[in-house]
Amino acid sequence: MTKKILVVLSEWGYWGEELVGPLETFDAAGYESTFATPTGRRPVPLPPSVDPDFVDPPLGKPVTTREMANKVRELDQSDRLDNPLNIAKWLPDRPYWSSSNFLREMEAYNNAVDQVQREIEPYAGIFLVGGSGPIVDMANNHRVHDLILSFYKSGKPVSAICYGVACLAFARDFILRKSIIWGKHVTGHCKEYDYKDGTGFVGSDINMGPPPYPLEYILRDATGPDGAYIGNFGHELSVIVDYPFVTGRSTHDSYATGERVVDVLDHGMQRYGW
């Protein structure tokens, strides 16, 4: 099996530990991580995720240890995240229906997507990092969706944590328009963990107040009557495997999510946590 994982990050801020935890786990298991962002800009961590004195409002306690803050800072100051793959250049843009040459453009688009599915062959799986940034440039990014669908259609594991899981809910075949997690079991940022105020992004002074959408509700709807959202509120950890999906709830689950991805890739795990 190919020992290579594609890691997708937002350009508007990722949560540090949600990258460091899986990345350290992938490294230890011998996997090479390749990074990608929506337009090829270098990703940077959200400031609270490198601040050990930051108190998470819903949890009422600091969520970043000094050790983790140092790890996140060291990674950010290294050259490892330099020159990520540019998803906007890699994946094609879908034409508008009103285009004067729609049929030919749609054929070209589908041919390009098919080519991407061939180009991901070296990767064993894909992992989407969380934080508030994905709300801006990943959740409703059809190129990110098409990249996810390429892994999904190839039968490769698709994994995500926190607000990165929103991308799975919205990744849909353009004809059927049903979420790929329909009938599946997933976890993700639960309603109890949502901010009432202070949702912000790197490179912007915008405070969106609460998150613009409650991820739990979206996941409940996207999984349908035969699937389930499992928040595990009141439990320290929440990681769910329902092959080909591996999902983690939030920051605390970063290492456990990476470990389950490795279990799926190296040991054939199909189900965990439900």
Could you tell me the domains of the chain? 4-272 (3.40.50.880)
- Mean pLDDT of all residues in 167-181: 95
Residue 92 has pLDDT above 80, yes or no: yes
H/E element, 159: strand 158-161
pLDDT confidence tier of residue 1, bands split at 50, 70 and 90: low
Encoded tokens for 188 = 């993700």
- Mean pLDDT of all residues in 175-194: 96
Spatial separation of the C-alpha atoms in residues 27 and 167, rounded to whole Å: 24
State how beta strands 228-229 and 158-161 pair: unpaired
- Mean pLDDT of all residues in 144-167: 98
Tell me what pLDDT residue 108 has.
Answer: 97
Amino acid at 244: P
- Cα three-residue angle 173-268-225, rounded to 5 degrees: 45
Which residues fall within 8 angstroms of residue 267, CB to CB, at 6 or more apart? none
Encoded tokens for 31 = 């996997």
Tell me what pLDDT residue 18 has.
Answer: 98
Q: Which of 142, 134, 82 is nearest to 116 (CA)?
A: 142
DSSP structural state of residue 31:
P
Q: Which of 127, 115, 110, 137 is nearest to 244 (CA)?
A: 127
Residue 170 has pLDDT above 90, yes or no: yes
Q: Contact 196/209 with Cβ under 8 angstroms?
A: yes
Residue 2 has pLDDT above 80, yes or no: no
3-class DSSP state of 45: strand
Tell me what pLDDT residue 270 has.
Answer: 98
The secondary structure of 58-80 as a DSSP string is: TTTEE-S-HHHHHHHHHHHHSST
Q: Within a 10 A sphere around the Cβ of 32, how many other Cβ atoms? A: 13
Buried b (16+ CB within 10 A) or exposed e, 46-79: bebbbbeeeeeeeeeeebbeeebbebbeebbeee
Q: Where are the alpha helices (DSSP H) in the chain?
A: 16-28, 66-77, 87-90, 102-119, 133-137, 142-153, 166-170, 215-223, 254-267
Tens digits of per-residue pLDDT, 246-263?
A: 999 999 999 999 999 999
Q: Contact 72/88 with Cβ under 8 angstroms?
A: no
3-class DSSP state of 244: coil
3-class DSSP state of 246: strand
Q: How close are the terminal C-alpha atoms of the chain, in Å?
A: 27
pLDDT confidence tier of residue 174, bands split at 50, 70 and 90: confident
Which residue bears the tokens 């490795």?
A: 262
Spatial separation of the C-alpha atoms in residues 223 and 228, rounded to whole Å: 6
pTM of the model: 0.97
Residue 215 has pLDDT above 90, yes or no: yes
The whole-chain average pLDDT of the chain stands at 96
